[in-house]
Amino acid sequence: MPSNISNEAPSEMNSPTATSAKPDMLISILARMTMEEKIGQMSQYFGHGEPISEHLVQSIRQGRVGSVINEVRLHTVNELQRLAVEESRLGIPLLIGRDVIHGFNTIFPIPLGQAASWCAETVKQCAHISALEAATAGVNWTFAPMIDISRDPRWGRIAESLGEDPYLCSVLGVAMLQGFQGDELRKNGSIAACAKHFAGYGAGESGRDYSTTNIPENELRNVYLPPFKAAADAGVATFMSAFSDLNGVPASGNKWLMTEILREEWDYKGFVVSDWESIQQLTTHGFSKDNKNAAYEASNSGIDMEMVSSTYLDHLPELIAEGRIDIQQIDSAVNKILQLKWQLGLFDSPYTDASLLPTPLNSQHLQIAKDAAIKSCVLLKNDKNILPLSTESLHCVAIIGPLADDPYEQLGTWIFDGDSQHSQTCLTAIEQELSGKANINYVKTMETSRSYDQTNFKQAVESAAAADVALLILGEESILSGEAHCRAEIGLPGCQEQLIDRIAATGTPIVLVIMAGRPLTIETVLPKVAAVLFAWHPGTMGGPAISDLLFGKAFPSGKLPVTFPRKIGQVPIYYAQKHSGKPATEAAFVHMDDIPVHSPQTSLGMAATHLDTHFSPLFPFGFGLAYTQFSYRNLELSHTTLHIGETLTVRVLLTNTGDTDGEEIAQLYIRDLVGSVTRPVKELKDFKRIKLAAGTSKWVTFELSTDKLAFYDRNMQLKTETGQFHLWLGGCSQSGMQGEFEITDD
């Protein structure tokens, strides 16, 4: 055993230095720690509820616990802290971790829904309130934001993501972590954030959770890593390693990722926690032959804290004694963990006094939840401007569907601390809205979104036939998305499509509201309905938000953060694809029904298309309608040529040409026409949310520095290359005014 390590307990107990620590005092604490105490700091325990288990009590007293996950009863959390601070030898407080993903008690839209707001301020506010509420339970660390680029809607965790685009995900991921962490971590109500899952977890084969990922380094650097780099630069307190295998080396034992990229290239100073038992799982992956070797691989790769499993506690002492793990590595991990505890102010005030924080679920929190839900909803179809519905011309409204009045299912995945008793559903909100103005015929019709029982269809049909409009509130229950909840087909589950058919046959126009945790393949449904409002899982205030949108008290402004496929076979489908040598074009597209029988084999004139569906998506990234129209005119570029280091100013005149107010998300895309590695056909580079009253115009200006055009080249160097660029400015990835410029080194 190296001589600087002692297993003997130094004499002082709970020294005052430990309870009023300053950064240099952390060094002294570290110097006084036994090896067992150090490894204890690197270990996170599962709370197991009440009463606190004797094992946990003893482990905390012995200094074998750095963090506890999933304990949120305040008195229990304070007792855990008391045990740590008063009854362990060095009195080091605990990190209390919890998945606070899109709200604590007040539930905001799922992250994918928040991403549809394209509003950093909204995302930040939601995270800030989530932090304030979580802090009332003594939580000081959340495992969010999840910034895995997600291009596969089969993957259940797409719900928890910020969508498919590296730029949008970076901007919103940073906003979310800033909302959690506040200006200063030690402020009451700030909690540490965690950038997860490093890295590539969203690219699992066939959209199954935890499955293998194979991502070439260039793709990893250009697509999957940028949100993590942005989070590291913005000061995210921690990172979490992914469950998944990346190119043959599981992330939780991947030294290239955790040390070479994260620490050496990015100079990241926070600590890395494994995912739940993901170190132990290195053996299941077939990467380590036993738990001891798993502990070795993980620690050696740079994982500082182990979540839930105990390979560190069980094997690091031996690995250190054998000289396989360097004590400096252990010290560095412990130092980072202590630093975070110090930054959070835990050495000074380990206990939580909830009375110093705002009461959860207060009216301000609910109002922000409602605003966020309004901004998250995306209007996908609105034939003949059926929406907004005018209460003056309505006598009777049919409200149909399993999600119209289900307080739980509108909350979405990851809502451990959300209480559905506080949810306001569509039915209750619309009843309030229409009270004294129109009748409502409500028929739940299906017990759940997955149900195949059509017994109540007749009643639903009668109710729709007697109404001026049928509001169908359909979609996916919460449990159909989220961790380990992936789907091979992503249509409306159960017999919902049959229900739409039956209601459509009445001739009463259908307004379809969809709550879901992912994009759904709704191509066949579209012709049968007059309008579609995609609400994701909108959270506690989903009902009032949707009601305000339907009846014109609010206007839809969300845009898709992810491409909607027509058919599942198109996946992965995303806007920033690369051209093949034979890109899909209308001219080259042939549907199989149009191929003459006994046609000879040929590839001439053929392209990268499917025979059984059009190559375009059902709805492209960035798409979303409003109750008004916006026009983009007079695109101006400050330069036609510029040098590296210069900035292009781009502006366009945006006009609200309709007769209602609205809010547009103006999106700036570029294409680098020729690159030393092939470049996507479009890349989002900036966006702005602009409110415009009916009939008014505004110049919208973007500054595009050439740095923003940089990408990782063949040698994995981040560079802006000279050459021709196209640029688009518009309201969607598939539209907009087009310009051109060139970067030259002349």
Nearest-approach distance from CB 275 to ligand NOJ, in angstroms: 5
Where helices occur in 505-541 by DSSP H, the ranges are none
Q: How far apart (Å, rounded) are the C-alpha atoms in residues 417 and 174?
A: 24
Please count the CA atoms within 13 angstroms of the CA of 675 that sit on its side-chain side. Answer: 23
- The DSSP secondary structure of 377-432, one letter per residue, reads -EEEEEGGG-PSPPGGG-SEEEEESTTTT-TTTTT-S--TT--GGG---HHHHHHH
Retrieve residue 737's tokens. Answer: 């005014």
The answer for residues whose C-beta is within 8 angstroms of residue 274's C-beta and 6 or more apart is 240, 241, 252, 298, 303, 305, 306, 307
Nearest-approach distance from CB 632 to ligand NOJ, in angstroms: 40
Q: Which is nearer to ligand NOJ, 196 or 566 (CB)?
A: 196
Q: Which is nearer to ligand NOJ, 143 or 630 (CB)?
A: 143
- Using CB positions, name the residue nearest to ligand NOJ: 143
Nearest-approach distance from CB 341 to ligand NOJ, in angstroms: 19
Q: How far apart (Å, rounded) are the C-alpha atoms in residues 629 and 216?
A: 41
Q: Distances from the Cα of 297 to the Cαs of 1, 64, 254, 304, in angstroms?
A: 20, 21, 8, 12
Q: How far apart (Å, rounded) are the C-alpha atoms in residues 300 and 312?
A: 11
Retrieve residue 121's tokens. Answer: 């301020």
The pairing of strands 396-400 and 439-443 is parallel
Nearest-approach distance from CB 599 to ligand NOJ, in angstroms: 49
Q: Which is nearer to ligand NOJ, 152 or 483 (CB)?
A: 483
The answer for residues whose C-beta is within 8 angstroms of residue 647's C-beta and 6 or more apart is 703, 704, 705, 706
Nearest-approach distance from CB 160 to ligand NOJ, in angstroms: 8
CB 112 within 8 A of CB 160: yes
Residues within window 459-488 making contact with ligand NOJ, judged by CB under 6 A: 483
Retrieve residue 376's tokens. Answer: 């998250």
Q: Which is nearer to ligand NOJ, 309 or 423 (CB)?
A: 309
Greatest extent of the chain over all pairs of C-alpha atoms, in Å: 90
Residues binding ligand NOJ: what is the number (CB under 6 A)?
Answer: 6
User: x/- string (CB under 6 A) for ligand NOJ, residues 132-171?
Assistant: -----------x----------------------------
User: x/- string (CB under 6 A) for ligand NOJ, residues 265-304?
Assistant: ----------xx----------------------------
Nearest-approach distance from CB 635 to ligand NOJ, in angstroms: 42
Q: Which is nearer to ligand NOJ, 114 or 655 (CB)?
A: 114
The answer for residues whose C-beta is within 8 angstroms of residue 167's C-beta and 6 or more apart is 226, 683, 684, 685, 686
| Count of residues in the chain | 746
Q: Which is nearer to ligand NOJ, 105 or 244 (CB)?
A: 244
**What are the phi and psi torsion angles at 642 (to 5°)?**
-150, 165
Retrieve residue 269's tokens. Answer: 């100073």
Nearest-approach distance from CB 617 to ligand NOJ, in angstroms: 28
Q: 445: alpha, beta or left, given left = phi > 0 and alpha = psi -120 to 50?
A: left
State the Rg of the chain over Cα: 27
Give the other-Cβ count within 10 Å of 643's Cβ: 12
- The DSSP secondary structure of 297-332, one letter per residue, reads HHHHHT--BEES--HHHHHHHHHHHTTSS-HHHHHH
Q: Catalogue the E-assigned strands of 364-423.
A: 378-382, 396-400
Q: Which is nearer to ligand NOJ, 97 or 624 (CB)?
A: 97
Catalytic residues: 275
Nearest-approach distance from CB 679 to ligand NOJ, in angstroms: 32
Q: Which is nearer to ligand NOJ, 162 or 530 (CB)?
A: 162
Q: What residue has token string 């259940």?
A: 156
Residues within window 636-675 making contact with ligand NOJ, judged by CB under 6 A: none
Q: How far apart (Å, rounded) are the C-alpha atoms in residues 719 and 309?
A: 42
Q: Which is nearer to ligand NOJ, 276 or 442 (CB)?
A: 276
Q: Which is nearer to ligand NOJ, 481 or 508 (CB)?
A: 481
Nearest-approach distance from CB 494 to ligand NOJ, in angstroms: 28
Q: Which is nearer to ligand NOJ, 176 or 400 (CB)?
A: 176
Q: Which is nearer to ligand NOJ, 142 or 410 (CB)?
A: 142
User: x/- string (CB under 6 A) for ligand NOJ, residues 188-207?
Assistant: --------x-----------
Residues within window 63-82 making contact with ligand NOJ, judged by CB under 6 A: none
Closest CA to 441 of 423, 456, 453, 452: 456
Q: What is the dihedral of CA 392, 696, 628, 544, to 10 degrees?
A: -60
Nearest-approach distance from CB 483 to ligand NOJ, in angstroms: 6
Q: Tell whether residue 99 is a contact of ligand NOJ (CB under 6 A).
A: yes
Retrieve residue 642's tokens. Answer: 């510029």
ω into residue 2 within 30 of 0, thus cis?
no
Q: Tell whether residue 229 is a contact of ligand NOJ (CB under 6 A).
A: no
Give the SS3 label for residue 282. Answer: helix
Nearest-approach distance from CB 143 to ligand NOJ, in angstroms: 3
Where helices occur in 445-541 by DSSP H, the ranges are 457-465, 496-504
CB 650 within 8 A of CB 701: yes
Retrieve residue 673's tokens. Answer: 């026409």
3-state secondary structure 325-370: CCHHHHHHHHHHHHHHHHHCCCCCCCCCCHHHCCCCCCHHHHHHHH
The pairing of strands 531-534 and 249-250 is unpaired
Q: Which is nearer to ligand NOJ, 21 or 158 (CB)?
A: 158
Nearest-approach distance from CB 97 to ligand NOJ, in angstroms: 7
Retrieve residue 298's tokens. Answer: 């993980």
Closest CA to 459 of 470, 475, 479, 445: 445
The answer for residues whose C-beta is within 8 angstroms of residue 348's C-beta and 6 or more apart is 19, 20, 21, 186
Nearest-approach distance from CB 116 to ligand NOJ, in angstroms: 21
**What are the phi and psi torsion angles at 249 (to 5°)?**
-125, 110
Residues that bind ligand NOJ (CB under 6 A): 99, 143, 196, 275-276, 483
